[in-house]
Amino acid sequence: MPTLVALIALGVLVLVHELAHLLAARAVGARAVLFSFGLGLPLYSVRAAGQRWVLGAVPWGGWLRLEGENPYQPATGVQEVTFSELSPTRRALVFIAGPVASLLLGFLLLSALHAGGTHVPVPMTVGVVEAGSEASRAALRPGDVIENVDGVPVHGWTALTRALDAHAGEQVTLGFRRGNTSLQRMVQPTRDAHGRGRIGIGQAYVFTREPLPHAFQAGLRHSLQLLRQTAAWAADLFHGPDGSGQPGAAAQLLRRLAAIESLDGVTRALAAASLALGFLYLLPLPALDGGRLLLMAWESFRKRPLDVRVQTALQLLSLLLAVLAVGWVAFNEVRQALAAAGAG
């Protein structure tokens, strides 16, 4: 998927997230002062349905401002009870609506994908053996089922690739099943162009089309799998380079998005991005929905709101941490690129 299309798609996902906040706010009786389609200076605005609708100069995403949400902005007086005066439960419903909408959208996209028909992996089964590769020299064949690496069971293709990557340049024993026969072969993973340990095999896939009830079940399983991968990816973002020349997680993600061409791949990418968005917004940082939910829980427990100055300090701290995190990721990516260039 071209980078521009990927950015537009991500903006649409953010917009859906913010619209969910708006609908939830209206449902609990909160008044929206402004909803902006896009960011930056307003190019056009109109007042309708009791609020101001704005078209931003940067056509990406959107944002929402509620009556009384910002304690430093005076209330307009139109609404007797402002957002900050609503019960913690009602405010929590508004905050959680965005992440839930993002997670739900990802689940529905994957369910539709499985209902319409898609290729699904055959668990731990070799589908492709590259000619002249280490796997070819070890006489692996399509249909072989990988069971362990050096006697350690591998229960997923990701676990297999990580085990091979960890042993790049070393001799390891690959255990697999061919029909009813258990076999072992010595292989030595070599680093590919991206620095990852590989032996030249690809996973087998089959095309399936599920009836609707089963499609929802498959969509749920697929969503949970992607959320686990998102959590692992988020953790990997903060790992520094290990000298192996392996590219960082952000660079790998951009390459994968740029390589997507089919409708199947686009749908999967959008679903993964929507699920990741919902996951990230639930992180317990004060500037995110997850952090605000924690503040609501604290307020319910203490029976009084947290001091405004403390809330402001926490939000500034979380913003600083976010900036540092982005800087750390960028620093690692640059170091990885320089290391790879030096190695080449």
48 Cβ contact list (under 8 Å, min separation 6): none
> Where are the strands (E) in the chain, listed by range?
32-48, 51-66, 118-129, 145-149, 152-153, 172-178, 181-187, 190-191, 197-198, 201-208
Segments making up each domain of the chain, as ranges: 3-30+86-115+271-343, 119-208
The pTM (predicted TM-score) of the whole model is 0.71
**pLDDT of 341 higher than 50:** no
- Using one digit for the tens of pLDDT, what is the confidence trace for 199-252? 999 999 888 888 988 999 999 999 998 888 788 776 665 554 444 434 444 455
User: 51, 66 in Cβ contact below 8 A?
Assistant: no
Check whether 112 has a pLDDT greater than 90. Answer: yes
Average pLDDT, the chain: 79
Which residues have a Cβ under 8 Å from the Cβ of 63 and sit 6 or more positions away? 18, 35, 36, 39
Name the residue among 154, 100, 129, 141 with its Cα closest to residue 282. 100
Q: What is the pLDDT, as a whole number, of residue 51? A: 78
pLDDT tens profile 129-168: 999 899 999 999 999 999 999 989 998 888 898 899 888 8
Q: What pLDDT, on a 0 to 100 scale, did the predictor assign at position 165?
A: 87
CATH of domain 119-208: 2.30.42.10
169-205 tens-digit pLDDT: 889 999 999 999 999 999 999 887 767 788 999 999 8
Give the span between the Cα atoms of 230 and 220, in whole angstroms: 15
Give the per-residue pLDDT at 28.
Answer: 85
Residue 310 has pLDDT above 60, yes or no: yes
Q: What is the pLDDT of residue 26?
A: 84
